[in-house]
Amino acid sequence: MQALQSTLIQLVQGLKFTIGIFFFTLIFSIPLGLLVSKGRMSKIRIVSVIFQLYISILRGTPLMLQLLLVYFGPYYIFGVNLGSIQIGPFNYRFIATIIAFTLNYAAYFAEIFRGGIQSMSKGQYEAATVLGFSRMQTYFKIILPQVVKRVLPSVSNEIITLVKDTSLAQVLSVTEMFTKASAAASAQVSVIPFIVAGAFYYAMNLIVETILNRVEKSMSYYS
Amino acid sequence: MPDTEKDIVLEITDVHKSFGDLEVLKGISAKVGRGEVVAVIGPSGGGKSTLLRCATTLERVDSGRIVIGGDVLCENGSYCDKKLEKEIRSKFGLVFQNFNLFPHFSVKRNITEALIHVHKKSREEADDICKHLLEKMDLVEKADAYPCNLSGGQQQRVSIARALATNPEIIFFDEPTSALDPELTKGVLTVIKELAKEKMTMVIVTHEMSFARDVADRIVFMDGGVIVEEGSAYDLVTNPRQERTKAFLAGY
C-alpha cells in the first residue's frame, strides 16, 4: 500500500514534465508546421526542396535519435557547452527535449496541413479574390477555418501520439512520468508502477479525445 | 445603345490569351454599355469562360486592353497597380458556375463579409443591404442557414446576392445554371430577368439559348477563340448569318 502511494507521488511529480512537454510541443510545433507546409508548397523550387528534405529527414529518423542529437550535438559537433543554460525553471535537458519534439512534430503537422490546404478548391480563392479580400484576409477568414476542419481528424491522431511520445524524453533523463515509473519499477522490483503510468497516459488521452471530439462537433454545422 | 464613352461599362480591345502553346483568345474586342445585357454563347472550349475570367482579373491576358467602369485594368497586356486593381474589383461582381459560396459562413455572412471587411461598411448597414437582397432573392428565411442546407438553386441565388451586395456596375455570370437541375434553373433565371428589368449591366455566359434570346439585348457567339458573330439577341438566334453559328444553334 505504501509502495503504491509512493509510486503515485513520484508519478505525479513526473506528470508536470510530461504535461509540459506535451503543451510546449503543441504550442510551438503547430505554427512551425504551418510555416513548414508553406515552405514545402513554395513556388520557388529551392525553398520547396529544402523543406521537403527537412520533412523527409525528421519523419524518416527516430525521434529518440533526434532528442540525443539536439542535446549532445552542440557539444560533440561544435564544442559548445549548453549544459548550463537555464531559462526560468527550465534546464537545457528540458529545452532540448522541447526543441527536438517541436522540430519532429512540425514535420508531421506540415504534411497534414499541406494536405488540407491543397484540398481546398480553387473556387474559394477565386471567390474571395473577386470580392476584394486581401491575401491575408482570404487565408485567415476563408481558407484556414475550413482547413482546420479538414485536418482535425489527422491532427487528433498526432496529438494522441504525442501524449505517449513524451515518454521518449527518458533518454535525456528528463524526469517525466515514464522516467519516474522506470525508477520506481526497478526500486520496487514490480510492474505496478508501469501499470499505474499506463493508466495515467490513458486517462490523459481520454481527456484529449473528449476535447478533440467536442471541437470536431463544434465544426459540424457545415459540410 | 450607348453613344458616349462614359456609358461604356466594359471595353475589351484586341485581347489575346494563350495557355502554353494553345491560343485560347485570338484577339477579342467587345463593348458593353450601361444597362445592357449581353449573352455569350458558343461551344465548349471556344474561349467564353476564359474571356470572362480575363475580364474578372482571374486570368492575365497576354496582350490587349481591358477597361472596366472607366478604369484601365490593362493596356497592351501590362496591368495597372494593385491598388487600382482592387478598386476595379469592387466595380464588378462575378457569379460562378458552381457558386463558390463560403461553406463555413451563414448565408448572411456570405453576403455581408466583404461589405464589412473590404468596403468598410458598418454591420447595421451591411445587414440592411443583406436583408434587402434576400427579399429580392426570396430567401429571407434562409439568412441564418448554411450553404450545405440549401438547394443548388438557392445557393446560386445567394451567390447572386453576394455579387450584388457591393453595388457593382456590372455583373458577370459564368454559366450560372449549368450545375443545376432543370427545375432549379427557373428560380435563378427569374432572378436574372428581374435584374435585367432593373437595367443591371450583365454579361452572361450561358447554354440556355431561349433564355439568352429572351433576356439579352445582344448575343455574342464565340468559337475557336474569336467572336464569330454578334448581334441583337432575337436576330442572332432566329436568323444567324454565319455558317458556324447556324450549325451551333441547330444543336438546340
Q: Which residue in B55, B53, B47, B54 sits closest to B22, CA to CA?
A: B47
Interface pTM (ipTM) of the complex?
0.91
In a mutational test of the A interface, the residue from B90, B116, B117 whose CB has the highest number of chain A CBs within 10 Å is B117
Judge if pTM exceeds 0.90: no
pLDDT in tens, A31-84: 999 999 999 999 999 999 999 999 999 999 999 999 999 998 877 787 777 777
Residue A142 to residue B166, Cβ atoms within 8 A:
no
Residues A112 and A40: their CA atoms lie apart, in Å, by 12
Residues contacting residue A84 through CB under 8 Å, at least 6 positions apart: A92
Size of interface A-B (CB pairs under 8 A): 58
Contact yes or no for B97/B174 (Cβ under 8 A): yes
For residues B129-141, give the mean pLDDT. Answer: 92
pLDDT at A221: 87
Closest CA–CA distance from residue B90 to any residue of chain A (Å):
7
* Nearest neighbour of A131 by CB, restricted to B104, B118, B146: B118
Q: From the CA of B34, how many Å to the nearest CA of chain A?
A: 20
E strand or H helix that includes residue A20: helix A2-40
Return d(Cα B242, Cα B233) in angstroms, integer. 15
Q: What is the mean pLDDT of chain B?
A: 90
Neighbour tally for A213: CB within 10 Å: 12
Provide the pLDDT for residue B2.
45
φ and ψ of B115, to 5 deg: -60, -45
DSSP codes joined into one string, A28-95: HHHHHHHHHHHHHT-SSHHHHHHHHHHHHHHHHS-HHHHHHHHHHHHHHHH----TT-EETTEEHHHH
Tell me if A165 sits within 8 A of A123, measured CB to CB. Answer: no
DSSP state of B63: E
List, as ranges, residues 155-214 from A with C-beta within 8 Å of B.
none
Which residue of chain B has the CA closest to A219? Answer: B104
Helix, strand, coil percentages for chain A (3-state, nearest 5): 85, 0, 15
The span from the CA of A151 to the CA of A115, in Å, is 8
CB within 8 Å: A129 and B57: yes
Q: What is the pLDDT of residues A117-145, one digit of tens each?
A: 999 999 999 999 999 999 999 999 999 99
Contact between B196 and B184 (Cβ < 8 Å): no
Distance CA A22, CA A29 (A): 11
Cβ atoms of residues B194 and B116 within 8 Å: no
Q: What is the mean pLDDT of chain A?
A: 91
Chain B CB contacts of A221 under 8 Å are: 146
| Contact list, A127 vs chain B (CB under 8 Å) | 94, 96, 100-102
Residues from chain B that touch A123, judged by Cβ atoms under 8 A, are 96, 98, 100
Q: Which contacts of B2-5 are long-range, i.e. CB under 8 A and separated by 24 or more positions?
A: B2/B33, B2/B34, B2/B36
Distance from CA of B96 to the nearest CA of A (A): 8
Phi-psi region of A178 (alpha: psi -120 to 50; beta: other; left: phi over 0): alpha
Terminal C-alpha separation, chain B: 29
Confidence of residue A163 (pLDDT cuts 50, 70, 90): very high
Tell me how far apart the alpha carbons of residues B151 and B138 are, in angstroms, rounded to a whole number. Answer: 13
CA distance A128 to chain B (A): 9
Closest A-chain CA to B94: A130
Please judge whether A123 and B92 are an interchain contact, meaning their C-beta atoms are less than 8 angstroms apart: no
Share of chain B above pLDDT 90, in %: 64
Q: Minimal Cα–Cα distance from B114 to chain A, Å?
A: 6
Cell output for A10? 513520484
Q: Per-residue pLDDT tens for A78-109?
A: 777 777 777 777 788 899 999 999 999 999 99
Q: Does A28 touch chain B (CB under 8 A)?
A: no
Which pLDDT score is estimated for A7?
A: 84
Q: Rounded to an integer, what distance in angstroms lies between the CA atom of residue A143 and that of residue A105?
A: 22
Q: Which of 82-141 (A) contact B at CB < 8 A?
A: 121, 123-124, 126-133, 137, 141
Tell if the CB–CB gap between A123 and B98 is shorter than 8 Å: yes
